[in-house]
Amino acid sequence: MAKLAHAQWSSKMTFVLAAAGSAVGLGNIWRFSYMVGDSGGAAFVLVYLACVALVGLPILVAEWMIGRRGQKNPINTMAELAANHGKSPAWALVGISGVLAAFLILSFYSVIGGWSLNYTLSSVIGTFNGQDADSIGELFGGMLESPATLLLWHTAFMVLVVGIVARGVTKGLESAARLMMPALIVLMLVLVGYGVASGYFGEALAFMFRPDWSALTGGVVLAAMGQAFFTLSLGMGIMMAYGSYLGEDVNLISTARTVIILDTAIALLAGLAIFPIVFANGLSAGEGPGLIFVTLPLAFGNMAGGTILGLMFFLLLTFAALTSAISLLEPVVETLEERTSLSRIGSTLASGIAVWLLGVAALLSFNVWSEVLFFGLNIFDLLDTFTSKILLPLTGLGAIVFVGWCLKRESTEAELGLSATGVNVWNILARYVAPAGVIVVFVAGLI
Binding residues for ligand TRP, rule: CB under 6 A, are 22-23, 25-28, 105, 230-231, 233, 236, 238, 324, 327-328, 392
CA–CA distance, 133 with 194 (Å, rounded to integer) = 16
CA–CA distance, 83 with 33 (Å, rounded to integer) = 42
- Least separation, in Å, of the C-beta of 413 and ligand TRP? 29
37 closest CA partner among 291, 279, 380: 291
- Least separation, in Å, of the C-beta of 18 and ligand TRP? 11
Cβ 202 vs Cβ 351: under 8 Å: no
Cβ 250 vs Cβ 15: under 8 Å: yes
- Least separation, in Å, of the C-beta of 27 and ligand TRP? 2
Which residue, 127 or 388, is less far from ligand TRP as judged by CB? 388
Which residue, 53 or 423, is less far from ligand TRP as judged by CB? 53
- Least separation, in Å, of the C-beta of 328 and ligand TRP? 5
Which residue, 236 or 298, is less far from ligand TRP as judged by CB? 236
Which residue, 239 or 298, is less far from ligand TRP as judged by CB? 239
Which residue, 170 or 217, is less far from ligand TRP as judged by CB? 170
Cβ 107 vs Cβ 362: under 8 Å: yes
177 closest CA partner among 321, 307, 69: 321
- Least separation, in Å, of the C-beta of 48 and ligand TRP? 13
- Least separation, in Å, of the C-beta of 307 and ligand TRP? 26
- Least separation, in Å, of the C-beta of 94 and ligand TRP? 13
Which residue, 27 or 445, is less far from ligand TRP as judged by CB? 27
Q: Which burial class, exposed, middle or buried, applies to 423 when counting CB atoms under 10 A from its CB (0-12, 13-18, 19+)?
A: middle
CA 107 from chain center: how many Å? 13
Which residue, 79 or 392, is less far from ligand TRP as judged by CB? 392
Which residue has the CB atom at the shortest distance from ligand TRP? 27
61 closest CA partner among 445, 440, 421, 396: 396
